[in-house]
């Protein structure tokens, strides 16, 4: 979870001004990042 958060922070900071990346990180973790991470995990498990 922590590592994923850092990854999202790095991605967001490329597009968003400083100070906003934390809020964005929370959003991505709860929505996009978490979903994609789960999908990747399932994909690896099935192979």
3-state secondary structure of 28: helix
Cβ(24)–Cβ(16) under 8 Å?
yes
pTM, 2 dp = 0.28
With residues binned 3-state (H G I as helix, E B as strand, rest as coil), the percentages for the chain, rounded to 5, are: 80, 0, 20
Q: Which domain holds residue 11?
A: 2-46
pLDDT in tens, 2-43: 566 666 656 655 555 555 555 665 665 666 666 777 777 777
- Looking at the structure of the chain, the number of domains it has is 1
Residue 28's Cβ-count burial label (10 Å; 0-12, 13-18, 19+) is buried
């Amino acid at each position: 979870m922590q590592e994923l958060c850092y990854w999202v922070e790095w991605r967001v900071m490329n597009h968003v001004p400083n100070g906003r990346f934390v809020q964005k990180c929370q959003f991505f973790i709860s929505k996009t990042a978490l979903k994609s991470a789960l999908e990747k995990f399932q994909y690896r498990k099935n192979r």
